[in-house]
Amino acid sequence: MALVVISIPKRTCWRNRLEVALFVRVMVSPNEDGFADQTSTLKQVRVVTSFTEFRESIQQNTPCVYSQDSIYTFQDILDESWLRKHAGQSKVGLRRSPTGKFIDPSDSILNIAKSLKAKEISLNEFLDLKQAGALLSGTDTYIFTKNEVVEQWSELWNYAGEILHESGGEHSLISKSALSTVGFWLSRNGIQSMTHYDDSLDNNLNFQIKGKKEILMFPPQDWKHLRTFKAMSMHPFSFFDGIKQGNFNLIQQRKCKPQIVELNEGDILFIPSGWFHFVEHIDDLNINMTYWFKHESAKKRIIKPKQSLRNILIPLKLSVAFLLSNFVS
């Protein structure tokens, strides 16, 4: 690790000096062997080809990937042409990050504010964008929430409801009464969702319909090593921003025991409640569906961040960015 020393001129505006003093960080150079060599030493999320085994993993509340031919209609039909035809005029919230990161606590307040800004456009307009770093977030775009189907996504819900016990299908996974929300995601390549866990403490079924993602997951017992923080209504986040950025030292020191998985088209990932996850969106167009649901075996967990000066200042920084996001373009 190399210590970065920054000299701040005495005449520098006090606001700039404060910004530097509070938010500059020590950078660690990535391992020269590269990301692939580092991840090869990590535990892989268990992959099964038996639907019965996948269902059992959900019941046991353990991470698992079902990797087999598509078993639900929406996995086959949901592509760009279907979306244009059946939901092209639906209004969605476009998010763009200057750095491709959502949300990076080490970034400038302005860049964070820009990534928090959601611009309302049509789905067709989003699909016309070829710009890397464009995101349609599943936490902005619910097709099911508050026990109701969102009207503009009703045609998609006709297929998305196949996984529910009420559908009567042989591949049903959860009941409608346990379902909290269903989110729809579209993303271009170059996006990184910073390490976080779902604040609702729901379990997460993630359907990789098109494209590819790489996900690094941390079990709840790793929380104390991740230095978490939260601001306003955001999910709890961690300072850990992926081993590509050189944070492999946490794992090398055996303080954390993450699991890694590459999701390909047709894969279904189960993320149990309370697991932190870092997500990288890889392909030119990624399409995902996320089902958040309650589980009888899930226990409510409360994260208490380490009380350090940095943990106090980061929420303050993000709160300012939230306010600023109302004014940036």
| Tens of pLDDT, residues 198-247 | 777 789 999 999 999 999 998 988 877 777 766 655 666 776 666 555 55
Two tokens at 302? Answer: 């409360």
Query: Do 185 and 140 form a contact (C-beta atoms < 8 A)?
Result: no
Asked whether residue 27 is domain-assigned, the answer is no
- Dist. CA 13–CA 173, nearest whole Å: 58
Asked whether residue 284 is domain-assigned, the answer is yes
Asked whether residue 14 is domain-assigned, the answer is no
Asked whether residue 205 is domain-assigned, the answer is yes
- Dist. CA 293–CA 203, nearest whole Å: 5
Sorted by sequence, the CB contacts under 8 Å of residue 69 that are 6+ apart come out as: 266
pLDDT, residue 99, reads 84
Confidence of residue 155 (pLDDT cuts 50, 70, 90): very high
Taking residues 263-283, what's their average pLDDT? 92
Asked whether residue 63 is domain-assigned, the answer is yes
- Count of domains forming the chain: 1
Asked whether residue 13 is domain-assigned, the answer is no
DSSP states of 41-75: TSEEPPEES-HHHHHHHHHHT--EEE-SS--SHHH
| Most confidently modeled range among 22-26, 191-195, 297-301 | 191-195
Task: Identify the CATH number of the domain in which residue 99 sits.
Answer: 2.60.120.10
Quick: pLDDT tens for 41-67.
788 999 999 999 999 999 999 999 999
Cα distances (angstroms) measured from residue 180 to each of 44, 156, 300: 28, 17, 15
Quick: pLDDT tens for 64-86.
999 988 899 999 999 999 999 99
Confidence of residue 159 (pLDDT cuts 50, 70, 90): very high
pLDDT, residue 4, reads 35
CA angle in degrees (0–180, nearest 5) for 134-204-290:
40
Asked whether residue 138 is domain-assigned, the answer is yes
Taking residues 175-183, what's their average pLDDT? 93
pLDDT, residue 309, reads 55
Asked whether residue 121 is domain-assigned, the answer is yes
Least confident of 36-40, 60-64, 192-196, 309-313: 36-40
pTM: 0.81
Two tokens at 125? Answer: 């307009």
- Domain containing residue 161: 34-324
